[in-house]
Amino acid sequence: MEYRSLGRSGLEVSEIGFGAWAIGGDAWGPVEDDASIAAMERALELGINFIDTADVYGDGHSEELVAKVIEGRRDQVIVSTKGGLMGHHRDPSGTPVYDRPEKVREALESSLRRLGTDYVDVYFDHIWWDRHEETEAFIEALAQLKAEGKARAVGVSTDDFEYIKHFNKNGGLDVVQLEYSILNRKAEGQILPYLQEHGIGVVVRGPLQKGLLTGKFTPDTSFPQGDVRSGWPAQEWYRTDLGRVESLRRLEGEDQTMGQLALRFVLSHPAISTAIPGGKTPEQVEANARASRRPLLSEEELQIIDETAPAQQR
């Protein structure tokens, strides 16, 4: 396993991390807790030292499972979690949930209890949609929590360039979590150059495009009810992207699966610190970990990817 600096945070992270959304059990189809724990245990054995979770994953269940794995070896694992989506941002009266720094602190304290620790290595503001009324509360709270040592580094999880610049207006942004993959290269336009210029760490979610880039889906694939991908088969973009994946199969080989190709592509960008594919089983984790090698991809492979799935396509 290769390691990289997480921007200016002072943290050294494995370039392949563990994304813990799926193990929450509420968004990615059936998952067993024992298998989830075994997957994280295997990740640590393989040198993966970065686990990313959030309070909203399984309504806290993902954090509780992470706690079981890091117990007794907290100093060996870099843990990030996120707050900001719980309660859809508003209470029953319509008041923003996180309109004061104190509420952000309460959210982190709840996460710390579930994680069984007194600090996280990275705490992210978890932005999904427009939420301007809460932005300043998060900026203030994150600075306080970092100063107190509750979070060693702070960041924002968003694909919105304007949000990123706003959060970094005082130079206090350590890390950004964003979506980036062969099939979604929008971040290459403005965001990744900006983050690289400012020394901000980059955590990539969705490097496998929610499993699409593993090559295991077809036009006939169906997803169970409650799976975030259940509506995909009816979408035109889904069929288009399946075609792109088929075109890229020529780059598969004995030492490279489609999934590993996708992860190596993400890691080939100089701004990237780590990619966090999900893993429900030890076998999936092992396949992801094997993406960490040198060299990553050849110039010829990168050229084929550019021709098949050009930048700024979305």
* Beta carbons of 285 and 204 less than 8 angstroms apart: no
* Beta carbons of 120 and 112 less than 8 angstroms apart: yes
92-96, 142-146, 216-220, 226-230: which is most confident: 142-146
Could you tell me what percent of the chain has a pLDDT over 70? Answer: 94
Q: What predicted TM-score, i.e. pTM, was given to this entire model?
A: 0.93
* Residues catalogued as catalytic: 57
Architecture of the domain delimited by 3-308: Alpha-Beta Barrel (3.20)
236-248 and 258-267 are packed helices; what angle lies between their axes, rounded to 10 degrees?
90
What mean pLDDT do residues 47-67 have?
96
Strands 12-14, 3-5: parallel, antiparallel or unpaired by DSSP? antiparallel
**pLDDT at 83 > cutoff 80:** yes
Q: What are the two backbone dihedrals, phi and then psi, of residue 6, each rounded to the nearest 5 degrees?
A: -90, 75
What mean pLDDT do residues 147-174 have?
95
| C-alpha to C-alpha distance for 198 and 155, rounded to whole angstroms | 13
Residue in this structure with the two tokens 């020394």, named with its chain if needed: 199
Residue 100: its pLDDT value, please? 86
What mean pLDDT do residues 41-61 have?
96
Q: What are the two backbone dihedrals, phi and then psi, of residue 199, each rounded to the nearest 5 degrees?
A: 65, 30
Residue 240, C-beta contacts closer than 8 angstroms, at least 6 positions apart: none
Q: What band does 314 get if pLDDT is binned at 50, 70 and 90?
A: very low
228-237, long-range: CB within 8 Å, 24+ apart, which pairs? Answer: 228/27, 228/28, 229/28
Residue 304: its pLDDT value, please? 97
Residue 230: its pLDDT value, please? 87
Per-residue pLDDT of 252-286, as tens digits, reads: 999 999 999 999 999 999 999 999 999 999 999 99
Residue 131: its pLDDT value, please? 60
Q: Regarding predicted confidence, which is higher, 231 or 144?
A: 144
| C-alpha to C-alpha distance for 91 and 106, rounded to whole angstroms | 15
Per-residue pLDDT of 182-222, as tens digits, reads: 999 999 999 999 999 999 999 999 999 999 999 999 888 98
